[in-house]
Amino acid sequence: MAGVIDLVLLLFLVTIAYASVRTKNLFEAAMLFGIFSLVSASFFVVLDAVDVAMTEAAVGAGVSTILMLSTLAVTGHKVRPRPVQRNVLAIAVSVLLGAALVYGTLDMPRIGDPDAPVQTHPIARHFIEVSPVETQIPNMVTPLLASYRGYDTLGETAVVFTAGIGVLALIGRRRRRDGTPVEAGEGVDAMQDRHRVLRIVGKQLIPAILLYACYVQAHGDFGPGGGFQAGVIFASALMLFMLLVGIDEAEKVIKPKVLEKLIALGLLIYGCTGLLTVLKGGAFLDYKVLAHDPIHGLHYGILAVELGVGITVTAVITTIIFTFAGHMRGRQKLVAPATDGTVVTTDGGAL
């Protein structure tokens, strides 16, 4: 049965990929990419990689799709005509890259092969056999990421932090010299009078999404989840809130200045947890010294660093969304109704 599901999902992925390549409408391509990510998340669930599926669904189908649609709102939906020579070059590069990727998978073992290195390697067996006993944490992924690979996860958190700072440095929020955002408070938010059903239903979903994100954050040591997954789910709820009420109303609740500080706070919590273990006489990120009982100390340390990861991931993703939305603020404003009954936006367009 699992093989049939895998085959069906694979056919869906191939069909969606082909449709996204064939379409000339960039809006359709963006939506197809989101569907591709959602089907990929289902594929990961079938493969028992629920942690990866959560991240793929939230980032791939949610955040990335919104960013692409935000970009298309500025650039347009149609593909510009290109010289035939460029199309041939692009096709050649894509074919060569695809062939290289397929060639790289030829020597990979089959899924579920008992003789695969991941099943027989001594290190893998060590973690499978020793991790539950040594950490007393049922979810094996959590101690691997937060304890055994603590340095690596700290580096990944630093990469997310750098991405957020890079977006702020390259794009930044549009401000006047006195520090106030451009177009802040001007006009009436278009979402206030449009899509009332969507707004009402969406507002009912936001508390449930936030509560689920907190559950994933706190329950990551016993089930799928952790800081990365909780962060992207939490950010998805905040992004939905911004889409429903508009950026001006969202900024009254979610202060961009606070988000910018939270980007650094999460990484600081992670690093300070490691420094605390050093001050207590242990190695960096050796959580066992945080309590008299080594097991309790390990749990405290993992909860602390996972909290830091969740804060940074949430703040970075939300900041990126706010940054892109800030540059489109003028397109979301209604200036005045035209004589023919249409509503004219600040960029001269009509809704």
What integer pLDDT is reported at residue 251 of this predicted model? 83
Under DSSP, the state recorded for 351 is -
What integer pLDDT is reported at residue 340 of this predicted model? 46
Instruction: For residues 47 and 85, give the distance between their C-alpha atoms in angstroms, rounded to a whole number.
Output: 41
Instruction: For residues 245 and 251, give the distance between their C-alpha atoms in angstroms, rounded to a whole number.
Output: 10
Residue whose C-alpha is closest to residue 65's, from 97, 41, 49, 86: 41
* Helix H or strand E segment including 222: none
What integer pLDDT is reported at residue 346 of this predicted model? 41
What integer pLDDT is reported at residue 197 of this predicted model? 75
| Identity at 18, one-letter amino acid code | Y
pLDDT at residue 249 greater than cutoff 90? no
Higher pLDDT, 341 or 315: 315
**How many of the other CB atoms lie within 10 Å of CB of 20?**
16
Considering the chain, what is the average pLDDT of its residues?
80
Greatest mean pLDDT range, 88-97, 180-189, 305-314: 305-314
pLDDT at residue 298 greater than cutoff 80? yes
In this prediction, residues 335-340 reach a mean pLDDT of: 44
The answer to whether residues 27 and 72 touch, using CB atoms and an 8 Å cutoff, is: yes
Confidence of residue 175 (pLDDT cuts 50, 70, 90): low
Confidence of residue 166 (pLDDT cuts 50, 70, 90): confident
Alpha helices in 136-226 (DSSP H): 141-143, 150-170, 196-218
**310: β partners:** none
What integer pLDDT is reported at residue 177 of this predicted model? 52
pLDDT at residue 25 greater than cutoff 90? no
pLDDT at residue 116 greater than cutoff 70? yes
Confidence of residue 349 (pLDDT cuts 50, 70, 90): very low
**Count of all residues that appear for the chain in the document:** 351
pLDDT at residue 195 greater than cutoff 60? yes
Burial class (CB in 10 A: 0-12, 13-18, 19+), 73: middle
Instruction: Please report, for residues 73, 79, 226, the alpha-carbon distance to residue 22 in angstroms, rounded to integers and kept in the order given.
Output: 21, 11, 38
Confidence of residue 149 (pLDDT cuts 50, 70, 90): confident
Q: Which residue has the tokens 């892109």?
A: 324
Residue whose C-alpha is closest to residue 320's, from 157, 174, 168, 213: 168
Greatest mean pLDDT range, 131-135, 194-198, 268-272, 293-297: 268-272
| Identity at 267, one-letter amino acid code | L
Instruction: For residues 261 and 346, give the distance between their C-alpha atoms in angstroms, rounded to a whole number.
Output: 32
In this prediction, residues 199-217 reach a mean pLDDT of: 88
The answer to whether residues 225 and 309 touch, using CB atoms and an 8 Å cutoff, is: no
Task: Report pLDDT digits (tens) over 252-274.
Answer: 888 888 998 999 999 999 999 99
What integer pLDDT is reported at residue 277 of this predicted model? 93
Dihedral class, residue 111 (left if φ above 0, else alpha if ψ from -120 to 50, else beta) = beta
Q: What angle do CA 344, 345, 351 make, to 5 degrees?
A: 65
pLDDT at residue 223 greater than cutoff 70? yes
Higher pLDDT, 120 or 210: 210
What integer pLDDT is reported at residue 341 of this predicted model? 44
pLDDT at residue 54 greater than cutoff 60? yes
Query: Which pairs from 11-16 meet CB under 8 Å and 24+ separation?
Result: 12/39, 13/39, 13/40, 13/43
